Structure 1
Amino acid sequence: MRNARRMMQTVLFAASLAIANAAMALDVAGVKVEERVQVAGKELALNGAGLRTRLFFKVYVAALYAEKPSKDATVLIAGPGSRRIVMTMLRELDAETLQGALEEGLRNNLTEAERAALKPSIEALGTAMRSIGKVVPGDTVTLDFSGEGLSIAYNGSPRGKIADERIGPAVLKVWLGEKPAEEALKQALLGR
C-alpha cells in the first residue's frame, strides 16, 4: 500500500513538472515560443517576443534570446555574448521580400559609410537569404549572433555563416535600432 501511494505521488509529481514545463512556453499569435534555447553549447534565455505586422497583415513572430537578457537595446546590440533571433513565419513570402526587408532595416539604421564598410557581409547575407527561396507559415528563419559573426538557418538547416564581427550588431539594429522595423515589436523583443 505504501509503495502504491509513493508511486502515485511520484507519477503526480512528474505530471506536474510536465505541465509546468509546457506552461514555460510563451504563446504569441498562436506560435509557441520557448523560454530557453541552446546555441553552440550555451543556454540563452528569452529576452522578449512579439508579432511583426505590415499593413495590418501578420507577417511573423520574432523571438530574441540572449545570454544576458536586458531591456536596454544598446546592450543587446553591442554587448558581449551570444544572441539569437527566431522568426516564425505566419505568411507566405519569397526570399527577395525577406532580403529586401533586412536591407531596408540596414539602410534605416546604418550610415552610408557603415553600409559601405559592411558591403561584402551584407551581400553574403543577401545570398544566404535568397538561398531560402519561399517561406510558408510555420517555417523558421534563425539568426545566431556571436562575437565572430552571424549564422543563418532555415528550418534548422544552415544557410550561411558570415565571419564578420560587425555584421551581428548591424543586423540587430533592424529590430532594435533607432528606426526599427516596427516600434511595437522592438518593445516586445526588449521584454517591455
Structure 2
Amino acid sequence: MSLPATVAQRLGVTLMRGCLGACVTMALLSAPAAQAQSAEVFGVHYEPTLRVEGRELTLNGTGVAYRALAKLYTVGLYLPTKAHQTSEVLGQNGPMQLRFVLLRSMRVDELGKLITRGIETNCSRPEFFRLIPAIRTMGEQFSRMKRLQAQDVVTVAYMPERGTVFLVNDDPVGAAIRDPQFFPAILKVWLGDQPATTDLKNALLDHKAQPVLSALE
C-alpha cells in the first residue's frame, strides 16, 4: 500500500515524482551486484579494522552495486564481531558502519530514495510509520548536501550513545538521529529479506565472490 501523499510530502519523498529520479531509484534497487573476493574492490581499499569510540570494528564484507554494466558504488560493512547471518548482525551491540565509495556521481536524493524505499520494503507498516520522524530528519539533512561525486565516501555510522550519523568524506552531515531502530532499518536495506540485491547481501555477509562474477572483475 502506497503512502498517502501528505505523508510522502512530509518525508521529502516527493522527490520521487520526477520520472528520471524514479527510474534511477528502481535501477539502484534492482541492479545486480558483484561480490568482492577481498577488501580491494575496483581499486577501493577498505581497511580490515577501524577504531570507533574505543571499539575495534572488523570488516565483515565488501561488495559492488551495478546498474546494468555500470558500477555504481562499493560498500563495506564494519561490525564489532564477524557475522554471516542478518540476525547475527542485528543482534550485535556497539558501533557499526556502512561505508560507501561512489564509482560515479550521484544526486543526493538518489541515496535518500534508495534508503527510504528499502526501509519501507523491509519493514512492516507499523514499523515504517514509527520511523517516519527519523526518515524525515534524514531527508532534511540530505537536502543540505551537494551532489555526490565519484570517489566520495558516504558513511552511515551507528554509535549506541548517540544514534545514527551520516558522514560525507568523514564530515558529519547533521546531528545524530537518536532513534535506536533507525540504523537496524537501514541495515535491512542491504541485508533484509528483500535486499537491494541478493548478491550484494551475500557479499556483505560472506565476503565471497561467485566464480563467474569474480572473473568478470
- Under TM normalisation by the shorter chain, which class is it? 0.7 to 0.9
- Tell me how far 1:109 sits from its aligned partner: 0.4
- Of 55, 60, 69, the match for 1:42: 55
Q: Which runs of 5+ in 2 are unaligned?
A: 1-37, 208-217
Residue aligning to 2:196 = 181
Within 2, Cα distance between the matches of 1:71 and 1:78? 12
Residue aligning to 2:156 = 143
- Tell me how far 1:104 sits from its aligned partner: 1.2
More strand by share: 1
1:178 maps to amino acid? D
Larger-gyration structure (1/2)? 1
- Of 42, 62, 66, the match for 1:29: 42
Residue aligning to 2:182 = 167
Within 1, Cα distance between the matches of 2:121 and 2:69? 21
Q: Which runs of 5+ in 1 are unaligned?
A: 1-24
Secondary structure at 1:120 match in 2: helix
Q: TM-score, normalised by structure 2?
A: 0.73
1:188 maps to amino acid? A
Within 1, Cα distance between the matches of 2:145 and 2:51? 23
- Of 86, 89, 94, the match for 1:81: 94
Q: Aligned residue pairs: how many?
A: 168
Q: TM-score, normalised by structure 1?
A: 0.83
- Tell me how far 1:54 sits from its aligned partner: 2.2
- Tell me how far 1:129 sits from its aligned partner: 2.6
The one-character-per-residue Cα deviations of 1:137-192 (angstroms, maximum 9, x if unpaired) are 10010011233421110111011210111101111101110011111111111124
Mapped contact 2:80–2:92 kept (Cα < 8 A)? no
- Tell me how far 1:42 sits from its aligned partner: 1.4
Q: RMSD in angstroms over aligned alpha carbons?
A: 1.4
1:173 maps to amino acid? K
Secondary structure at 2:98 match in 1: strand
| Higher relative contact order (CA closer than 8 Å, sequence separation 6+) | 2
Within 1, Cα distance between the matches of 2:198 and 2:143? 26
